[in-house]
Chains A and B, each alone.
Chain A
Amino acid sequence: MNYIPEIRLEHIVKHYRGEGGLNDVSLTIQDGEYFTLLGNTGGGKTTLLHIIAGLVKPDAGQILFDGVDITRKKPYERNLGLVFENYALFPHMSVEENISYSHRVKGYDPQETAQISREFQHMMRLYNREKAIPSELSGGMQQRVALGRALMNMEGSGILLLDEPFKALDAGLRMNLRVEIRNLAKSEKLKLTVIHITNDMTEAMMVSDRIALIRDGKIVQVGIPEEIYYQPANLFVAYFFSDTVYFPGVVAAVEDSSYSVVVAKNVAFKVDNPIAKFQRGGAVVLVVRNDYFKIYAEPVSPEDKDNILTGKITTAKFMGPFIRFSVSLEIGNIIAIDIPSTYGVREKFPAGQNVWLTFNPKKAFLFPDPGEEKLKELYFEI
């Protein structure tokens, strides 16, 4: 009975006066897929969600649900479930009335409506609160009511749109709801197609089958979480998912997929990267995630390890699961690296300690050097 269509966006264009909008976006979201649009504020992800929901008309392009063009259909004709950041519940209505709203305005059989509403209340773990009004509920519970209402509104279309659903919640609650919502979407009973938008990379990684990273109205990369994390398409994607350390350099030698990159006088790093395509002499940026470094308090032999950097710890800051070491490198840079704060690490690496850092050649990325100006722009967001 659950009819789950594929969603296809073809060449969507939307211009606003001034900034923002979308520039030729095409995407296909599969049946039953949990798909996330990820990006910073102003990147265009909300506009795209609103176009799918029918709340905004595109200037050009088509939206197809299972091959049928629905670009001109009204929002209520699309039978989608929609959940917003601020819950958008009716403040004067009870939990029960909020959840059953769509069925009541459509004039469906009251008994059947009450029955379905009860089912969704249970599914959202809202027990014995049917008469409560939103202001009597915690933020987490209000968001559960909003989800219940969205699920009821879908009427078998199986498409749920989530607009930053957990942004207003506290950290602990947010973590739990992420796990819950994915389990719900994947449950045998619902098997939802979900389009979730967020600016939080961890949230995207936690809930998604696939992620589309969107920036300046364009899709930068689409892929499963592992792919987008381990094979970033460009410098921005690498930068976006975690703190990174970068070294501008020049390709000194290429052998199959192994590169030697000179980053300072007499200092070359090895990078094994089958995707990179660079010629000898090419100007590149070598990027390493800042939790990929190993740290030693004794000299490391080049025979044992590739890519050795020497330096001195300037500051060590405990951050919980990680310790952030600021290391002044012999080649001149100061870099910040995160090392798991396992037992004894702090005592072993105090400020002033000489250290040897290494990183795995397979875990470094290479990108074309965009120039100092562009690098600064990326790392120093204005």
Chain B
Amino acid sequence: MPDIELRGVNKIFKGKVIAMEDVNLKIKHGEYVFLLGPSGCGKTTTLRVISGLEQPDNGEVLIDNKDVKDLLPEDRGMGFVFQHFEIFPFMTVWENCIYGLKVRGFSDEVLIEHGERALKTVGLLDYADEYPTVFGNPGLQRLGIARAIATGAKILVMDEPLGSLDPKARLSFRHELRDLVKRLGLTAIQVTHDQDEALAIGDQIIVMRQGRILQYGPPEELYERPTSLFVANFIGEMNFLEGFIYPNVLGNNYLVRLEIRGPKLYASKDHAIFPDFAVDQRVVIAFRFEDVYVYPQNFDFNKPGHERMEEELNFIPANLYSMRFVGKTTRFIAKFASGEMIQATKPGTFPYQLSPGDPIILGIHPHDIITFEHPKDLAYEIDLS
């Protein structure tokens, strides 16, 4: 049962570009793990070090508790899937699929058994005798996956495998990919620049920035309990507001006053990063677009069925800046009197007629607000580039 482990790995290119700095991680057998981060964060280098395409400057790479320093990529028991497929157009679907087995010199019986099983798994068995030119990008990538699993590899290493698909195909294919990995009981490591993809199908997500791991955990944890402002901004869609702690006696909450002479909001202490903020301490509060309720100014909270919405919510008057239906959700941008912009998303069509400039009320639940210590340079901390 292969576990993958990196211990104290460093990698510096040309003596100056730090791609990996003291990277320690452990990937358990059967997990679907994502390496995620902005361009140049070291995610691809990490993948290449694990797969043996790159040697670390120091530190260890262990597979199944064995140091694999001397093992070539093809001897590490991994199947590789690439963004641009790397399918041979002059070979049939079948020949492409069994290529890895053939060069390893397996018998015809093995080729047929493994090849057929792999093509069947990805739904392409009917196309075995065709040339890959009949496929669009989704078909080519299914073949790429079939070729990777045909070798019997238990670890699937994938570099942006959905990066060449159209958005709609990418949305459905990602679930197909997860189903396949789970059905075959594989360990999967995938590099992506698409945060939604990692959230949607990953068991674990490793967020990297400037060669270091910032946070490593399941999607729920990174989404609900980001430990840094960067991760908070990088995963999902988040509002950030600066403020300071105000004296409060109500419940297990901080009262945060937004700068300067801005509105006051309650923020749950349970969801703060570092629990003990003192009165007057500067903080940054963060809350997700989808956790902001939007009400027209004349919304009747006393109407039957509406009361429960009032419970415990922070209410802040604002003005609508823009509102846009985008299909699954409607997206709002609102402006506080103090100037801050807040974004919100609500499912489907908004039931009230509103125009830009109209007064509205925003509702935010204290348990949806995460309170961070104010950093020296907020713009730098949340910079995604």
Q: Is the CB of A343 within 8 A of B172?
A: no
Of A225, A318, A324, the most chain B CB neighbours within 10 A belong to A318
| Residue interface mask A185-202, B partner, CB < 8 A = 1 | 000000000000001111
With A173-B384, A324-B175 in contact, do A225 and B325 touch (Cβ < 8 Å)?
Answer: yes
Determine if A226 and B220 form an interchain contact, defined as CB atoms under 8 angstroms apart: no
Within B211-227, which residues are at the interface with A (CB < 8 Å)? 218-220, 223
A234 contacts chain B at the CB level, 8 A cutoff: no
Query: Cα distance A230–B328 when bound, in Å?
Result: 11
Within 8 A of A (CB), among B165-208: 166-169, 171-172, 175, 178, 193-196, 199-201
Task: Please tell me if the beta carbons of B384 and A225 are within 8 angstroms of each other in the complex.
Answer: no
Q: Tell which of B137, B167, B333 has the most Cβ of chain A within 10 Å.
A: B167
Q: Is A243 an interface residue (CB 8 A)?
A: yes
A381 touches B169 (CB 8 A): yes
> Can you name the residue of chain B whose Cβ is closest to the Cβ of A198?
B167
Q: Which of A172, A324, A382 has the most chain B CB atoms inside 10 A of its CB?
A: A382
Report yes or no: B199 in contact with A319, Cβ–Cβ below 8 A. yes
CA distance A317 to B136 in the complex (A): 29
For A243, list chain B residues within 8 Å (CB): 171-172
Question: What is the minimal beta-carbon distance from A233 to any residue of chain B, in angstroms?
Answer: 16
Answer whether residue A118 sits at the interface, using C-beta atoms and an 8 A cutoff: no
**A71 at interface by CB-CB < 8 Å:** no
How many residues of chain B have a CB within 8 Å of chain A?
Answer: 53
**Contact at A202–B171, with CB atoms within 8 Å?**
no
Report the bound CA distance from A171 to B199 in whole Å: 14
CB distance from B323 to the nearest CB of A (A): 12
- Contact bitstring A286-313, B, C-beta under 8 A = 1, else 0: 0000010000000000000000000000
Which residues from chain A contact B326 at a C-beta distance below 8 Å?
202, 205-206, 225
Identify the interface centre among A170, A340, A343, A379: most chain B CB within 10 Å of its CB.
A170
Closest to A140 in B: B385
The reply to whether B385 and A170 contact each other, CB–CB distance below 8 Å, is: yes
Find out whether the CB atom of A179 lies under 8 angstroms from the CB atom of B325: no
Q: Contacts A317-B201, A319-B200 given: A206-B324 contact, CB under 8 Å?
A: yes
Question: Does B123 have its Cβ within 8 Å of any Cβ on chain A?
Answer: yes
Tell me if B223 and A318 are in contact (CB < 8 A).
Answer: yes
Pick the residue among B168, B193, B233 that contacts A240 (CB under 8 A).
B168
**Distance of A305 from chain B, by nearest CB (Å):** 16
Q: Contact: A200 with B171, CB < 8 Å?
A: no
Please report the C-alpha to C-alpha distance between residue A225 and residue B328 in the assembled complex, in whole angstroms: 11
A380 to B173, CA, bound (A): 9
Contact with B along A145-179 (1 / 0, CB 8 A): 00000000000000000000000001111010001
Any B CB within 8 A of the CB of A346: yes
CB < 8 Å: which of B139, B219, B345 contacts A319?
Answer: B219
Measured in the bound complex, the distance between the Cα atoms of B236 and A318 in whole Å is: 13
The answer on a CB contact under 8 Å between B199 and A318 is yes
The yes or no answer to B138 lying at the interface (CB within 8 A) is: yes
Q: Hey, which chain A residues are within 8 Å of B219, CB to CB?
A: 318-320
Q: Given the interface contacts A340-B347, A343-B367, does A42 sit within 8 Å of B175 by beta carbon? A: no
Tell me if A84 is interfacial: C-beta within 8 Å of chain B: no
Q: With both chains docked as a complex, state the minimum distance between the C-beta of B219 and any C-beta of chain A, in angstroms.
A: 5
Q: With A and B bound together, what is the CA distance between A19 and B218 in angstroms?
A: 44
Min CB gap A12→B, angstroms: 23
In the bound complex, CA of A277 to CA of B38 (Å): 50
Which of B136, B194, B195, B328 is A242 in contact with, Cβ under 8 Å? Answer: B328
Contact of B138 among A201, A229, A318, A382 (CB under 8 A): A382
Q: How far is the CA of A340 from the CA of B169 in the complex (A)?
A: 22
Asked whether, in the complex, the Cβ of A382 is within 8 Å of the Cβ of B328, the reply is no
Q: Which residues of B contact A241 (CB under 8 A)?
A: 327
Least CB distance from B227 to A in Å reads 17
Q: Give bound CA distance, A240 to B167, whole Å.
A: 10
User: Across the two chains, which residue of chain B brings its CB closest to A343?
Assistant: B367
Question: Told that A291-B347, A343-B367 touch, could you supply 12 new A-B pairs with CB distance under 8 A?
Answer: A40-B169, A170-B193, A171-B194, A172-B234, A199-B168, A200-B167, A201-B168, A202-B326, A320-B219, A324-B175, A381-B136, A381-B172
